[in-house]
Every structure is written in C-alpha cells, then in structure tokens.
A and B are shown apart, each in its own frame.
Chain A
Amino acid sequence: MVVNKGVWIEGLLLTAISVVGVIESIRLVLYKDPSLLSDWLGPGYYLLVVSLAVMTTGVTYICKNRSTKPSATQDSSNGGRSRLVAAFATCALYLVLIEIFGYLAATFVFFMLMFWIVGLQSWLQKFGLACAMSGIFYIVFVKYCGMSFPGGILF
C-alpha cells in the first residue's frame, strides 16, 4: 500500500488544530460566571462543536485519502523551490528591516532582493527600479496617505 505522506501531514495538522480548540473550549465551558447565565452557549460550547467538527474532518480526510497516489503537480524543481523560499525569506526580512531601518530603506532592500529573485538580470536595472519603486511607495503611502510606519534609524 502506498502511503501518502502529504495526506497524513494535512490530516494530522487539522487534528492538532482541533485538539487545541477542544482544550480551549473545555476551559471556557468550565469557566463559571454568573453574568453568563442568560448566554446558554457561552463562549465555549460553540467553539467545542466547531473544534470537534475540525477533528472529524481531519480524521475522515486521513481515512479516505491515506492510500491515494501523491499528485504529480506537487513536485517542483530545486531551483523553483529555493526561489520560493528566498521570496518568503525576503518578505520576513522586510518586516524585520522596517522596524530597524524604517520604511524607505527597508522597501529599497525588499525591491532589490525581490527583483533579483524573480529573475531581473541587470544590476543597474534592479537598482534603478528599486530606487524608483521605493521612492514612489514612500511618497504615495507615507507622505500622501499619511501612514505611520515604525520609525527606524533611517526613514
């Protein structure tokens, strides 16, 4: 029998979420507050039903699909996968840099890295586009729309 690891991971993830939900809902069901007397369901029972529904779905999903063949479309090349990891890492770095250096500098770094990841060849083009885009974003959103990003050591 072929074991579909993906299905097991997905099903177990659903079940894990539901277990957290059940524990939290039991805590809320046991919570006694006189002001909740008119609220039949309280903050916990609804949660309990939904959590149990997630659990049932997770288990059903594993039982129904555990021996199905993994889909061919799920495979991707190593290059593609590393580009995707790099893209998400750049996004995370962007959020960290906003707090350290401020919006403008972080946005410039973000654009430089993203243009490189998506395959823009020329460094001059990357630099020019990153300068232009970060400038436009800063003027439109910070200066014009008045959005207040965390103040870093730069802008």
Chain B
Amino acid sequence: MDLLDGIANILTPTYLLYCFVGCALGTLVGVLPGLGPASTLAILLPITMHLDPLGSIIMLSGLTYGAAYGGSTTSILVNIPGELGSVPTCFDGFPMTKQGRAGEALWIAAVGSFIAGTFGAVMISILGPGIAKFALRFGPTEYFGLIFFSMTALVSLSGTSIAKGLGAGFVGILFSCVGIDMMTGIPRFTFGNVGLMNGFDYIPVIIGLFGIGEVILNAQERLGQIYTGKMGKMMPRGDELKKGLKASLRGTLIGFPMGLLPGMTPGVVSFMAYDIEKKISKYPEKFGTGVIEGVASVEAANNATAQAGFLPLLVFGLPTGAAPAIILAALMMYGVQPGPVLFTVNKSFAWTVIASMYIGNVMLLILNLPLVGLWARISTIPYKYLGPTVLAICFVGAYSVRNTMFDLWVALAAGVVGYLMRKRHWPMGPLILGFILGPMMEQALRQSFASGGPTAFFDRPIALALLAASAAVLVFSIRALKRVPKEILEKREEM
C-alpha cells in the first residue's frame, strides 16, 4: 500500500522530471571518464539546496544508480571505462565490439543492469520496512555497534594499504571534532579562530576533496575517439540470450548482498563477479575474448551493489561508501533524519524515493538502449570546456551552505588535499566516511557510557552481536579484496 502511494507520488510530472534528470546525469557521469558519481553528487549537492528536498533526493539517487548503467557504454564501445565498476566490462565487452557484436553487448549490459536494479528496488521494498521496525528498538549502544560496523569500510575502502585507509579514516574522524563539542559546548581544535568554532561543514569538505581535486587533476586529459564502427544486431538470440540472462541473475545475486556490506562498492564487487563467473564457467579460457556472460554478470553485479547501498542508508542512516555518504549528507542538509524513523515519521518521503528506483530503472533502460550512440559521443567532450565550469560550480556550492568565505577557503584546502591524495594513491572514501560517521559514533558512544557506564555493551546482545559481526566482516573484506587486481584497488580514490 505504501509502495503504491510512493508510485502515485513519483508519477507526478515534477518528480518524474527530477528522476529523469538524475538518471540522465548518472548516465552522463557514467560515460564521462574521470568524473565519478561521488564527485558529481558533491558538485550537485549545494545546487539542490534550492530545490524540493524529496525531488533532490530522487535526483541524487537516480544519479548514483544511473552511473552504474552508463559506465558500460564507453567500456564496450571504446574500451574506456567511464567508472571503476565498469573496468571488467571492457574485458569481454570491447572484444565483442571488435567482432561486430557491440549491439548485443550493449543490450545485455542494459538488460542485466535493469534486472539488477529492479531486483534491488524490490528487495529494498520488502526488507526495508521490516528492518526499520526492528531497528526502532535500537538505543545509542546498538547505534554505536551499527556505526562501528559501518566503520569496517575503512579497511575495505583502503585499496592496497590498510594503513593508508585507517590513517585517512582516523584523520577524517579527528577533523570532524573541530568546533564546539555538541554535548558540552566546549571548543575543540579551534585555537581561538572564529571560523573554526563552527567546525567544518560537510559540503565544502566533500566538494573540495571530490570535486575540486578531481577536476584539477583531470583538466588536461584528452578523451578517446568516438566509436564509428557498426553496432550489429541489438538483442542476442537463442543460446546467447539464455547465457546472458542467467549470468545477469548470478551477478545480481552476488552484487546485492555484497552491496549491503560496508566498503563493498561497485568497483570491487564487479571484479569479484567477473572472477566468480569465470571460475564457474565451462570455458574459462574464452573469457577476455568476447564472452557474453563476462559483460552480463559484471554489469548486473555493479548495479545490484549500487542499489543495495540504499538499504542500510535509508533504514539505518548508514552509508556503505562515498556516494551513499554524500546522499546521507544531503538528507541531513534537508533536515530529513534517515534511519528507522524515516519509515514512520517521513513515510511518504521514504516510499517515494523507493518508488523512484523502479521508475528510474525503466528510464535508464530507455536512456541506455536507443540513445547509446549519443552517450558515446558525449563521452568525448574535451575537459578544457568542462573543467573550469565545474570548478566554478564547486565554489558556488561550497559557499551556498553557510554563505561564508571561510567555507570557500576550506573547499580550496580540501581540494589541494584531495589532489595530493589522488596523486599519492591515498583512498578518500575512508576520509569522508570517518568525517561523516565520526560525530555520530562519538555521540552514540558517549550516550551509551552516560546511560550504562563502561559495561553498557555487555547488557545489550544486539550491540555485542554487531561488534562481533564487524570483526567477521573485517576478515571477510580482507579476503575478498584479494580477488581484486592491485591496480584497481589503487584507483579506488573515487569511492
């Protein structure tokens, strides 16, 4: 019933437009190499301040899962992955193009993405309210357990060096402490500076790290050639169709549960899906030569993971990676409290966002099949036009939150840090996760101690179970990351 209300809401022209813009921007971001979903969310975030909160979240969500669709187009046609989750799509997608089967590869990538995205939306609709109802019993102790569980992403987002991930994450937590302590009113790390008294706002920091840093780094890049070859027939037939659809289902079943775990971003899971698909195949030696399962499984896993991230975000208010963390910042900016109460206090809001995922996936299917040639062409826009414009938007965005020049300087400083981190292969996901989750974790921990003393956790089985689960996920993440090539882990700054 609630879902039907949500669908009725989303079918109004305004929200349909927001959803369409989000999906189109997501596809655009997916096809443009060098501009990832997290950076684009960061750039768009302040602009959406002047828009309707529900419409903005629909748009930002569409952008997040839309990027997972768009990334496959340039991977298949020109062997340039638009985003990290589509790197393995190149392995079989581009050979298919060289064999004159580009149409089939694009069709199965879009349909696989649609299957995964819709499956994700269905699972969120089914599981979301039940988990939210259960989570209503959670107190600060359980919340600390949950946030600690999310913090395990610091390890899985670390790339090749866990020390780098942990270092970045802890520094993020430390920087989130700057300003007036929210429980006692005592200034921390302010050194008498008035600007520092207010602390660092999320938006300038996110914009600087992801937007300014990335744009400056990419400013000189020349992009690939437009695909001028033949597409071939679009829909695969017979055995190829069956193989592709089955692989899409397998990719979905791998991607969705993985996407619920902290730090398991599409970039990592798509590699795991490719690896598993190859291992269970009757002809693993053919992988890399244009096997349809190699494209289908990866694209489905990629999308299922992106979609799954919305479940912990909406139900617990916990992000599993950088892009969901920015959507969390957006929700907080609008004064919408994500978490279990969202399904009771802001029921209409939650269900309209979920309903938009069904509609958004249909829109993406339409956007990605007939318009594929247009996206391939757009992917070659030179950065010399795009870069300065995006930079100027970044500054407007950083200023718009609190209207202070201090925030602009913070954004610029964060931009320098973001640039240096990219150059030196320091992961930015942990930094931003620590920065956003740090204050929540501190508050939950101090409230737990205030209510139950240092032994508070021993009387709360759910909190203890969550802490134990964190340890298990840590071990699992470290083992799972061994399946992902080192070069890909090094390139995960975007996540």
Residues of A within 8 A of B (CB): 6, 10, 14, 17-18, 20-21, 24, 28, 31, 33, 35-36, 38-43, 46-47, 50-51, 53-54, 57-58, 60-61, 64-65, 71, 73-74, 80, 83-84, 87-88, 91-92, 94-95, 98-99, 107, 110-111, 114-115, 117-120, 129, 133, 137, 141, 145, 147-150
* Nearest A residue to B425, CB-CB: A71
B3 within 8 A of A: no
B125 within 8 A of A: no
Q: Which residues of B406-459 have CB atoms within 8 Å of chain A's CB atoms?
A: 408-409, 412, 415-416, 419, 423-426, 438, 442, 445-446, 449-450, 453-454
**Which of B163, B384, B412 is A115 in contact with, Cβ under 8 Å?**
B384
Q: B408 to A95, Cβ gap below 8 A?
A: yes
Q: How far is the CA of A145 from the CA of B49 in the complex (A)?
A: 10
Q: B184 to A118, Cβ gap below 8 A?
A: no
**Which of A54, A61, A117, A149 is B399 in contact with, Cβ under 8 Å?**
A149
Distance in angstroms from B173 CB to nearest chain A CB is 5
Taking CB atoms, residues of chain B closer than 8 Å to A137 are: 392, 396
Q: B188 to A41, Cβ gap below 8 A?
A: no
Taking CB atoms, residues of chain B closer than 8 Å to A145 are: 50, 400
* Nearest A residue to B453, CB-CB: A40
Instruction: Choose, from B10-18, B68-76, B212-220, B236-244, the stretch at the interface.
Output: B212-220
Q: B166 to A87, Cβ gap below 8 A?
A: no
Q: A57 to B424, Cβ gap below 8 A?
A: no
A-B residue pairs, 3 tightest by C-beta: A114-B388, A40-B449, A61-B163
**Which of B183, B384, B423 is A43 in contact with, Cβ under 8 Å?**
B183
Taking CB atoms, residues of chain A closer than 8 Å to B384 are: 115, 118-120
* Nearest A residue to B389, CB-CB: A133
Main secondary structure of the interface of A (DSSP, over half): helix
Taking CB atoms, residues of chain B closer than 8 Å to A150 are: 405
Taking CB atoms, residues of chain B closer than 8 Å to A98 are: 405, 408
Main secondary structure of the interface of B (DSSP, over half): helix
B395 within 8 A of A: yes
Q: A43 to B188, Cβ gap below 8 A?
A: yes
Q: Which residues of B216-237 have CB atoms within 8 Å of chain A's CB atoms?
A: 216-217, 219-220
* Nearest A residue to B218, CB-CB: A118
Taking CB atoms, residues of chain A closer than 8 Å to B412 are: 88, 91-92, 95
Taking CB atoms, residues of chain A closer than 8 Å to B446 are: 39-41, 46
B358 within 8 A of A: no
* Nearest B residue to A137, CB-CB: B392
Q: B416 to A88, Cβ gap below 8 A?
A: yes
* Nearest B residue to A117, CB-CB: B219
Q: How far is the CA of A133 from the CA of B384 in the complex (A)?
A: 14
**Which of B171, B389, B445 is A14 in contact with, Cβ under 8 Å?**
B171
Q: A46 to B445, Cβ gap below 8 A?
A: yes
Distance in angstroms from A18 CB to nearest chain B CB is 8
Taking CB atoms, residues of chain A closer than 8 Å to B442 are: 46
Known contacts: A31-B186, A51-B174, A74-B423. The answer to whether A94 contacts B395 by CB under 8 A is: yes
**Which of A18, A65, A111 is B161 in contact with, Cβ under 8 Å?**
A65
Q: What are 6 of the A-B contact pairs (CB < 8 Å)?
A: A20-B189, A35-B184, A50-B173, A61-B164, A118-B388, A147-B400
Residues of B within 8 A of A (CB): 50, 161, 163-164, 166-167, 170-171, 173-174, 177, 181, 183-184, 186, 188-189, 212, 216-217, 219-220, 383-385, 387-389, 391-392, 395-396, 399-400, 403, 405, 408-409, 412, 415-416, 419, 423-426, 438, 442, 445-446, 449-450, 453-454
Q: How far is the CA of A139 from the CA of B407 in the complex (A)?
A: 22
Q: How far is the CA of A66 from the CA of B378 in the complex (A)?
A: 44
* Nearest B residue to A38, CB-CB: B450
> How many A-B residue pairs lie within 8 Å, measured between CB atoms?
141
**Which of A20, A41, A53, A133 is B445 in contact with, Cβ under 8 Å?**
A41
**Which of A18, A31, A60, A92 is B163 in contact with, Cβ under 8 Å?**
A60
Q: B450 to A6, Cβ gap below 8 A?
A: no
Known contacts: A46-B445, A47-B177. The answer to whether A80 contacts B220 by CB under 8 A is: yes
Distance in angstroms from B349 CB to nearest chain A CB is 24
**Which of B50, B166, B450 is A40 in contact with, Cβ under 8 Å?**
B450
Q: How far is the CA of A47 from the CA of B189 in the complex (A)?
A: 10
Taking CB atoms, residues of chain B closer than 8 Å to A21 are: 174, 189
Taking CB atoms, residues of chain A closer than 8 Å to B181 are: 43
Q: B186 to A28, Cβ gap below 8 A?
A: yes
**Which of A14, A24, A57 is B189 in contact with, Cβ under 8 Å?**
A24
* Nearest B residue to A54, CB-CB: B170
Query: Apart from A43-B186, A57-B163, what 17 extra A-B contacts exist at CB < 8 Å?
Result: A14-B167, A41-B449, A43-B188, A54-B170, A57-B170, A65-B161, A73-B425, A84-B216, A91-B212, A91-B395, A92-B412, A95-B409, A114-B387, A118-B220, A119-B384, A133-B392, A150-B405
Taking CB atoms, residues of chain A closer than 8 Å to B174 are: 17-18, 21, 47, 50-51, 54
* Nearest A residue to B181, CB-CB: A43
Q: Which of A31, A36, A57 has the most CB of B within 10 A?
A: A57
Taking CB atoms, residues of chain A closer than 8 Å to B400 are: 141, 145, 147
* Nearest B residue to A146, CB-CB: B50
Taking CB atoms, residues of chain A closer than 8 Å to B403 are: 147-148
Q: B405 to A88, Cβ gap below 8 A?
A: no
Q: How far is the CA of A64 from the CA of B160 in the complex (A)?
A: 13
Q: How far is the CA of A117 from the CA of B216 in the complex (A)?
A: 10
Known contacts: A28-B188, A43-B183, A57-B170. The answer to whether A118 contacts B387 by CB under 8 A is: yes
* Nearest A residue to B456, CB-CB: A40
Q: How far is the CA of A57 from the CA of B438 in the complex (A)?
A: 17
Known contacts: A53-B166, A147-B396. The answer to whether A114 contacts B391 by CB under 8 A is: yes
* Nearest A residue to B421, CB-CB: A10
* Nearest A residue to B404, CB-CB: A150
**Which of A17, A99, A129 is B171 in contact with, Cβ under 8 Å?**
A17
* Nearest B residue to A111, CB-CB: B388
Distance in angstroms from A52 CB to nearest chain B CB is 9
Q: How far is the CA of A119 from the CA of B384 in the complex (A)?
A: 7
